Structure 1
Amino acid sequence: MQADHTASDSTENLADINAYSVNSHREEGLSSFSQPENTVYQSRGCSPDVVEHVHPAAAVGQSLFLGAGKDSQIASLTAPIEEVRDQVGTIAETIETHLKRDGSEQVRETIRDWSEDCAVDRPFAVAARYATLAVLLKSTLYEWYAHRGDLPFLNGNLRDAFDEAADRTKNHAFKDAPLVDIAWEIPRERVAEISWWRHGLMTAENPADDLGYLFEELIPAAERKKHGQFTTPRRISAIMRELAVCDDEQVLDAGIGAGALSVPRDSTMSAHTYGVEQSRLGFLLAVTSLALAEQPGVVHHSDFFDITPGTLGMNPDATLKKDLDSGDVDIVPGQVDAAIGNPPYVANRNLEKETRHYRQHLSAFGKPNKTSYLDGEKKLSGRSDLFVYFITHATQFLVDGGRLVYLLPTKWMETQYGQTLQAFLFDHYQVSAIIRFDDTVFNDAQVNAVLLVAKRCDDATVRRNTTTRFLTITGELAPAAINDLVFDGSVSEGESTESNDTSSHRENDYRVITVSQSVLEERDASDGPLTQYFRETGTLRALQQTEELVSLDTLASVQYGEKTGHNEFFLLDDADLDTWPLADRFYRSALDDFGTVSKGRLTASDSDTYILDIHAYIESLDDQATVEKPDNSRAKRVKQALIQNGHNALVAYLDHWATRADNPGQDNGVWFDARELHAPDLVHPYRIHQKTQVVRNAEGLVPTNCANGIDVKPSVDMDALLGYLNSTLHAAFLEMWGQSEGGGSLEVTTGTLGQLPVADVRAFSDKAHNNVVTAYQALIQGENYAQAKLDKAVLDAIDADINAMELRAVHSSLMHERLSST
């Protein structure tokens, strides 16, 4: 929800953060109180959208028992988080069963409405877990207040206790949470058992880690993935905090969740956390985590893009003074020392709101009276995913020299839209390091991630003179050691090499490749993705700049395979054709699995898949049916024509799907029309695991989204181009340019393939042309050593300063590195 953030009418100067003053605005007037040696969460304007933890405090003691079963009574008050998970998870399963069998119609309707709004697949299972976790967190937060003497110990009706806590503490985390009301519909002893396990959280050494672990274990991965929520592993969060935060600094954590990134693990360290969390459950996690960790902070329950530097501290007129090593220093709300985050991985097409909501802050960047990054010459791509806007928005909150440490998918280094983000970063930051790990960061996310480490910098000369480190962690390095590698540049004795624009150093536990930020700023699309700097590919980078290579789109047009939007309907097999014997004119052979392709030539025997093709028939109907405005009546007219022409099998197939398919085809008024299908000259795989094979489309199959299509220009010899595209040099460039996805696969997008450097076969001498074509023919015939002969012919043709054996070693190393990261 949107907070009604209002500034305080008074200014309180605090000489010591260990004392605090709270100004609580109420609709009927202003009341205030001071209470040293205590903690309060502060809300402004009676809004549940922000709570402020001002002061850390007391030790944990023993709570009174709230009626639970015998097993719970005798359990230890100190329970490992795994036991809490198991017990609470079991209770959630019991609640799920109860809700399905005995839940009131009102509760069931609430769950159904919620599941529809949130697109939940298993509504009762997920609702039970949300409610269970919310009750546990509220009970824990209540217990924390009770040990401080701010509330009586729990011993009675939980619902009434939470209402009283909200009123007495002014902490709106006690207000409604997702589906928590359904907890009052289940047997009281089940609720009491949930609440009892708060003791396992009260004694947690690392509350943020433990609460994040509970969230990840209790909420199904499929539901978290829908919202781009992936809990940061403890190892990674420790490294991020080391890189981002120094003691006694102000930290922005947008999408804070349980606070694993910003809440200190070491109780002797302190940092003031400004958290922003849109999820109501995430808000409750953050507030509870800060309380248990005894750390000061402000948590907003809000969309991050509704928060500005002026409203981040909730009191832009107030000046706080803290006794730092350098003396009393003014802290200006909205100007933080570090921004740390693991932003939601939500694709552009899945954004909840209109794009302008996420882009409006871009008008703050650029020269006065210009909006360069919003709609000007440096416009950020409109196809950017959500995490891109988290970075640009967070930039507003940082002081000059403030550190940005974000865990991001590698897409921003590999895609065309990522190039506009790169330009933004180079214009506003010293990019100190980009760090990847020699395994996938997330266990349940098919995505590769890197750490971006950068310092806000307004001086263009300083930015250009920055040395950027592409750091690959291959072993167990301590966070402090990684911090030294990033900011001190210190390296141990080891193997070092240099090329024209980079230097590299390798140790057992890491590899670092350094390059000047000025070199990175001057790159363009023809130089390939930034991810190539993680690999020691100086020879290939130099080779791709030679005049003998051009982009593939110079020699051919590249297009993505047919994307029907509803393959289940449009793609047929022999069993479908037995059931519905369609006329031959209404379907064509299609390629839906590149793994079935034999060497060299793509023929109908390589696939048992067909694609429905009614477009030509529709185009042949009278002019009225084709030029009239697209609507549902047009589809009816096409079906009437099919009936009149005796195409009953096709009509039966359409009727079979009519009640199941909601306009599965293109938006042209005829839902069963996939529009004009294209059979390209050559077919190139979209995803590659180990072997790369590009084939001639000998019998005009229609590739689906498993492949890219290539149409060769008339001036280009197709055999020579096919020879090059099946060489190890092409496979090596694909390793450099492709997007390494989770599971070890290499994704070759249409845009990337079009820009990829290839040999300009038009410039081959007659001898070079003959050698390449002859070697390629030997390859598709399966002759011994044909691949080595083809590689030698290609390298000779472009006069490359590398031999075939060295090339294969480079490619093998790159491929092994990709596959070993799974």
Structure 2
Amino acid sequence: MSAALVDRHAEISTQAPIAPPSPSATASDGDPIPGLEDRSVADEALIEPVESLAATIEPELANAPPEIQSQLETWADLHGLSTTLDEATREVIAMQAAVSLLLKATLYEWHHRRSELPALSGDTRAAFQAAASQLGNSAFDECVLDDIISLTDSSDRDIVVDERTRLMDSTQPAEDIGWLYEAVVPREHRQTLGQFRTSPALADLVQSWATSGGDRVLDPGVGAGSLSSPLHPDWDLSTEPDHVDGVDRSPLSVLMSTTALTLLGQSHDPYQADFFDLQPDDLREPVNAIVANPPFAQGSSLRASYKQRVNAYFEDVTGIEISAQSPLYAYFMFHARTAFLSVGERAGFVTPWNFLATQYGTALKAFLRETCSIEAFVKFDTDVHQSFSNADTTTLVTCVEARAEADSPGTIRFIRVEADVDEGTIREAIRDGQQGATEWGYINVVEQDQLSPAANWQTRFNPVPIDTNSLPTLSEFCSVNVGKSCGKVGFFCLAQSDVTEYGIDAEHLSLLVRKPSIVDGYDFTDDDWTALRAADNPVWLLDPDELPSVPRSVHEYSAQVEAGTASPQNNEGLHAYLWDGVAEGNLTGVKALDRRTYWYRPVRQPAPRVVVQYCARDEFRFILNETDARILNSAYGLYDVTLDDQELKAVLAYLHSSVGQQVIQRVAGARQGDLSGFGVTDLRDLPVIDPRELDDETVAELADAFDNLCTAARCDGDTEGVRGRIETVLQRGTDIQ
């Protein structure tokens, strides 16, 4: 075990040391069972007994003995839950305990049917303890979940125990166990550590690419065992892979994967450990391949002391400066390659695609580029392929083969999957897919040594077919700035009902487009603003001139309000609103208010000619603003536009074309989830067409096409047809081909 990291593991949680390998089902050749098809048991009948038992456990947790309370806090910390043990946390732990009982009972029954254990007695805890001793199987080891289950009556536990044969009927237990866990543990309580179930199709793709018959496979962050489950569950026993070493910090995850792999007849050893503490000598034999869906946890969600030490450790191991913002999955990839993969061995990683574009991803890209042959990056369109249930992310499969430093790398295939397609087709694309569009997506073949780690690799999935070096930048035609911060959105952004309630005069207000997402389509008119006002959206920005009777400092005014000495004079409605806002809104803690000449007036900025969203999942919209509405810092604005209306619309038509959107994606980077976005400097430097260099007919056609695009969007019409026309005009009337 790594001496450098063994103590760091203890800083996160109190866990048992790495469990010794336990006897488990040994795979052997088997014959397909005639007539047996894939069977799932994922339905409400599996949830109901779990929820029923959890409902009896949860009230007991609030009054549990102090020693159990302490263990519960440690458990909550380990699983990314609140250590204050609030009601929501207690409900989650109660669900986990009920799932644990079901899995242990199922695993026990499997061994009983093979005459390895006696029939399960009424005292399930004693039976599980005996199984742990007799079999040496760490999945039966006790944790705090066993303590809290013992606080319930046996009749309540029997509701779950009696369901132990249900999972045994499943031919895809890893999928069903993962489904059950997601069904009873709300997404927000799995989000911190990024715990999301891998779809069977994606698991099959990763495993079949990384492994071959006879491989010993390492599955760090094993979860329910989806990635390392045999590919052919309708066979009595499977030889794919030959053996699995499953690693997870959570005792419950170890139990889930052990149960699933045992039911499938997959030879395996479970290891309850922090993956970073695991070294090759801790395993029975060296592994030949790695499949991993590591936690998606962001660096900010990890304990600072732990993250700092892990970061320092891998900087020392890799010799690369690693950003402290790196997510947890990056360190999994560092450790997998440096500690476990030998030259010629493969690994498949399932992660978000963010690292390809972010600054923190530079170190990881440099590491993979220098130590591996990167065979492919496979990106899945979230609208078509739901790789993870309820996960708000764009999925990336990274396929690598360890190589010697002296070996020359080959090509990387950037594969975009945007339609339903079988895994075999994707595997063929990874192996020798040819450059260009396919029926289901796109393949871009790039020489690995030509890629700079500092570049945005996400753009390689959407190669731009034009040279933009000769195009002017957007800043040549306008100024580009982010909207001003109001400091306290709920106070300064008012709906009509607020204005009416207080009787605030219009002279103290400015029109507002709160954020781009409230605008449907590509233009914003006075009628749109009026409709938003009628729907009681926040369409007013509090924007008064100096009020002599109101102190410039919010702290001074707050003191007057508290003392009851501030009294409305003129503009009673406005004064009443300010009074209530300070009395109820805790405005003294808003630093932006301290930097203003008058705390009650946001920094003034004219209405932008174009409103630009800086984050998007698919299309970035440039919204023509036909009103006097201002924006806040939730959007960018184009100001001081030097183009006339037709020329500006021609540029907007280009920006909403497929070519324009590809150019935008070239400069955009990854944000949270599957969002991408760009900074204000990126927007200023965005290459665009120069309408002043085009003939009048082309400009007029593009401007007319943009008007048609706006109309089609409002009428739920055929925007794709309009875009096609824009493409035709661009190809005919410009140098863009």
TM-score band, normalised by shorter chain: 0.7 to 0.9
Greater mean alpha carbon deviation, residues 681-690 or residues 126-135: 681-690
1:90 aligns with 2:48: yes
1:426 aligns with 2:369: yes
Check whether the contact 1:55–1:296 (CA below 8 A) recurs between aligned residues. Answer: yes
Aligned to 1:105: 63
Residue 307 of structure 1, CA deviation = 1.9
Q: How many residues align?
A: 675
CA distance in structure 2 between the aligned counterparts of 1:263 and 1:244, rounded to whole angstroms: 13
Distance 1:576 1:350, change over 3 A: farther
Q: Equivalent residue of 1:702, what SS?
A: coil
Check whether the contact 1:120–1:223 (CA below 8 A) recurs between aligned residues. Answer: no
Residue 405 of structure 1, CA deviation = 0.8
Question: Where does the alignment leave 5 or more consecutive residues of structure 1 unmatched?
Answer: 7-44, 60-77, 321-330, 375-379, 497-502, 627-632, 803-822
Q: Given residue 679 of structure 2, which amino acid in structure 1 is its aligned partner?
A: T
Distance 1:339 1:589, change over 3 A: farther
1:512 aligns with 2:443: yes
Aligned to 1:277: 248
Check whether the contact 2:483–2:633 (CA below 8 A) recurs between aligned residues. Answer: yes
1:457 aligns with 2:403: yes
Equivalent runs, 1:100-249 vs 2, <5 Å? 105-106=63-64, 116-117=82-83, 122-123=88-89, 125-147=91-113, 151-177=117-143, 179-202=145-168, 204-249=170-215
Equivalent runs, 1:386-465 vs 2, <5 Å? 386-397=328-339, 398-437=341-380, 439-440=384-385, 441-459=387-405, 462-463=408-409, 465=410
- TM-score between the two structures when normalised by the length of structure 2: 0.75
Q: Given residue 134 of structure 1, which amino acid in structure 2 is its aligned partner?
A: S
Equivalent runs, 1:365-404 vs 2, <5 Å? 371=319, 373-374=320-321, 380-397=322-339, 398-404=341-347
1:362 aligns with 2:314: yes
Check whether the contact 2:636–2:680 (CA below 8 A) recurs between aligned residues. Answer: no
Q: Given residue 297 of structure 2, which amino acid in structure 1 is its aligned partner?
A: V
Question: Where does the alignment leave 5 or more consecutive residues of structure 2 unmatched?
Answer: 7-13, 29-35, 233-237, 569-574, 713-720
- TM-score between the two structures when normalised by the length of structure 1: 0.68
Equivalent runs, 1:300-315 vs 2, <5 Å? 300-304=271-275, 306-308=276-278, 311-314=279-282
1:702 aligns with 2:624: no
1:734 to 661, 665, 669: 661
**Cα-to-partner distance string for 1:206-236 (whole Å, 9 max, x where unaligned):** 4433322332333333433343111011111
Check whether the contact 1:730–1:758 (CA below 8 A) recurs between aligned residues. Answer: no
CA distance in structure 1 between the aligned counterparts of 2:206 and 2:448, rounded to whole angstroms: 22
Aligned to 1:541: 465
CA distance in structure 2 between the aligned counterparts of 1:80 and 1:193, rounded to whole angstroms: 27
CA distance in structure 2 between the aligned counterparts of 1:51 and 1:662, rounded to whole angstroms: 57
Check whether the contact 1:688–1:745 (CA below 8 A) recurs between aligned residues. Answer: yes
1:590 aligns with 2:523: no
Distance 1:445 1:187, change over 3 A: same
Q: Given residue 25 of structure 2, which amino acid in structure 1 is its aligned partner?
A: P
Distance 1:509 1:747, change over 3 A: closer
Distance 1:467 1:511, change over 3 A: same
2:493 to 545, 551, 571: 571
Check whether the contact 1:436–1:471 (CA below 8 A) recurs between aligned residues. Answer: yes
Q: Equivalent residue of 1:47, what SS?
A: coil
Check whether the contact 1:135–1:195 (CA below 8 A) recurs between aligned residues. Answer: yes
Residue 653 of structure 1, CA deviation = 2.8
CA distance in structure 1 between the aligned counterparts of 2:24 and 2:722, rounded to whole angstroms: 73
CA distance in structure 2 between the aligned counterparts of 1:442 and 1:51, rounded to whole angstroms: 32
Equivalent runs, 1:16-55 vs 2, <5 Å? 47-54=16-23
CA distance in structure 2 between the aligned counterparts of 1:484 and 1:758, rounded to whole angstroms: 36
Check whether the contact 2:670–2:676 (CA below 8 A) recurs between aligned residues. Answer: yes
Q: Given residue 427 of structure 2, which amino acid in structure 1 is its aligned partner?
A: N
CA distance in structure 2 between the aligned counterparts of 1:564 and 1:657, rounded to whole angstroms: 14
Identical aligned residues as a percent:
20
Check whether the contact 1:112–1:123 (CA below 8 A) recurs between aligned residues. Answer: no
Q: Given residue 287 of structure 1, which amino acid in structure 2 is its aligned partner?
A: T
Aligned to 1:338: 289
Q: Given residue 412 of structure 1, which amino acid in structure 2 is its aligned partner?
A: F
Q: Given residue 661 of structure 2, which amino acid in structure 1 is its aligned partner?
A: L
Distance 1:667 1:475, change over 3 A: same
Residue 726 of structure 1, CA deviation = 0.9
Q: Given residue 399 of structure 1, which amino acid in structure 2 is its aligned partner?
A: S
Residue 129 of structure 1, CA deviation = 2.2
CA distance in structure 2 between the aligned counterparts of 1:5 and 1:412, rounded to whole angstroms: 24
CA distance in structure 2 between the aligned counterparts of 1:573 and 1:641, rounded to whole angstroms: 30
CA distance in structure 1 between the aligned counterparts of 2:324 and 2:475, rounded to whole angstroms: 24
Residue 650 of structure 1, CA deviation = 1.5
1:649 aligns with 2:595: no
Q: Equivalent residue of 2:288, what SS?
A: strand
Q: Given residue 543 of structure 1, which amino acid in structure 2 is its aligned partner?
A: D
Check whether the contact 2:649–2:706 (CA below 8 A) recurs between aligned residues. Answer: no
**Cα-to-partner distance string for 1:401-431 (whole Å, 9 max, x where unaligned):** 2222112223233445445543332222211
CA distance in structure 2 between the aligned counterparts of 1:4 and 1:161, rounded to whole angstroms: 38
Greater strand fraction, Structure 1 or Structure 2: 1
CA distance in structure 1 between the aligned counterparts of 2:264 and 2:303, rounded to whole angstroms: 33
Distance 1:116 1:663, change over 3 A: farther
Check whether the contact 1:615–1:674 (CA below 8 A) recurs between aligned residues. Answer: yes
Check whether the contact 1:569–1:657 (CA below 8 A) recurs between aligned residues. Answer: yes
1:466 aligns with 2:411: yes
**Higher RCO (C-alpha 8 Å, min separation 6):** 2
CA distance in structure 2 between the aligned counterparts of 1:684 and 1:3, rounded to whole angstroms: 51
Check whether the contact 2:42–2:179 (CA below 8 A) recurs between aligned residues. Answer: no
Aligned to 2:679: 750
